[in-house]
């Protein structure tokens, strides 16, 4: 079938007809039958439907192609935006860095120290620089509820005491005031093998003479203690319960 449109905008099968059957209005000289108006209209409708189906299929393919192109452009835009974002971490020169030195440094927005609030960051096994950037973003944008939970855990550690027996925790107006009696130095980016969660441990020390660690899982969960190993064990359990 080869669909053709005549000058009168009729559709017809040019493989079947030499000219438009709908425009032909004469009767043959032998007195043959005239094509009825109903048959003519029906034939035209069938051809129009066939043509419209082809147009619809073509339009469907075009829309699909445009959507795929839009998806690709969106992914490229996200990549370009990330590429344009300034790094939150000042990365150390690997050639000059000692084994015990952090992989980079960044400025903390919440947890302070005497080094202009600059904390070191360590890439633990499996963690990349991109992942570490996400950890820093998370830490600097922790919800107030999570920060309060961390501070309450630090208060408990302060009450448990440490090597500085002369330290006595004063009465605090609010939980966040405990941050005036401790400081934080490092972040450990911990990348789980089979999860996209953001996990990290933050370490510091309190005026009561004891180390302080807190672990974060997806910005909303925190565990606080004086032992780094306990923090890692908690993270492993946290990941295990959510896989």
Per-residue pLDDT of 135-175, as tens digits, reads 999 999 999 999 999 999 999 999 998 899 899 999 999 99
Last residue of a domain, one of 32, 61, 83: 83
Residue 193 and residue 89: Cα distance in Å, rounded? 23
Whether residue 109 is found in the same domain as residue 222: yes
Write down the pTM of the prediction.
0.62
Whether residue 121 is found in the same domain as residue 29: no
Q: How open is the CA angle 4-5-10, to the nearest 5 degrees? A: 125
How confident is residue 125, by pLDDT bands cut at 50, 70 and 90?
A: confident
Q: Which of 23-27, 36-40, 77-81, 206-210 has the lowest mean pLDDT?
A: 23-27
Please give the residue range of the domain that contains residue 173.
90-240
Q: Is the pLDDT of residue 67 over 70?
A: yes
Q: Work out how many domains the chain is built from and give that number.
A: 2
Q: Which residues contact 152 (CB under 8 A, 6 or more apart)?
A: 175, 224
Q: Residue 187: what pLDDT?
A: 95
Whether residue 52 is found in the same domain as residue 122: no
Whether residue 109 is found in the same domain as residue 28: no
Whether residue 51 is found in the same domain as residue 161: no
Whether residue 64 is found in the same domain as residue 177: no
Q: Which of 104, 108, 128, 89 is nearest to 202 (CA)?
A: 108
Whether residue 77 is found in the same domain as residue 50: yes
Q: Are 87 and 105 in contact (CB under 8 A)?
A: no
Last residue of a domain, one of 83, 111, 132: 83
Q: Are 176 and 151 in contact (CB under 8 A)?
A: yes
């Amino acid at each position: 079938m080869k669909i053709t449109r005549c000058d009168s905008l009729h559709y017809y099968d040019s493989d079947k007809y030499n000219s438009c059957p709908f425009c032909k209005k004469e009767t043959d000289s032998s007195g043959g039958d005239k094509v009825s108006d109903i048959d003519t209209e029906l034939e035209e409708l069938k051809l129009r439907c066939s043509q419209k189906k082809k147009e619809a299929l073509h339009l469907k393919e075009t829309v699909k192609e445009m959507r795929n192109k839009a998806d690709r452009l969106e992914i490229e835009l996200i990549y370009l935006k990330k590429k344009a974002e300034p790094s939150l971490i000042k990365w150390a020169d690997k050639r000059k860095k000692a084994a015990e030195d952090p992989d980079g440094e960044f400025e903390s927005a919440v947890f302070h120290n005497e080094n202009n609030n600059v904390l070191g960051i360590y890439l633990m096994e499996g963690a990349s620089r991109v992942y570490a950037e996400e950890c820093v973003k998370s830490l600097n944008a922790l919800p107030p509820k999570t920060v309060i939970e961390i501070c309450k855990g630090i208060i408990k550690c302060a009450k448990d005491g440490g090597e500085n027996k002369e330290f006595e925790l004063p009465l605090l107006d609010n939980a966040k005031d405990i941050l005036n009696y401790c400081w934080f130095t490092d972040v450990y980016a911990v990348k789980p093998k089979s999860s996209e969660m953001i996990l990290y441990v933050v370490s510091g020390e309190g005026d009561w003479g004891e180390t302080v660690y807190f672990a974060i899982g997806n910005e909303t969960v925190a565990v606080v203690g004086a032992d780094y190993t306990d923090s890692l064990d908690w993270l492993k359990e946290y990941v295990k319960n959510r896989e």
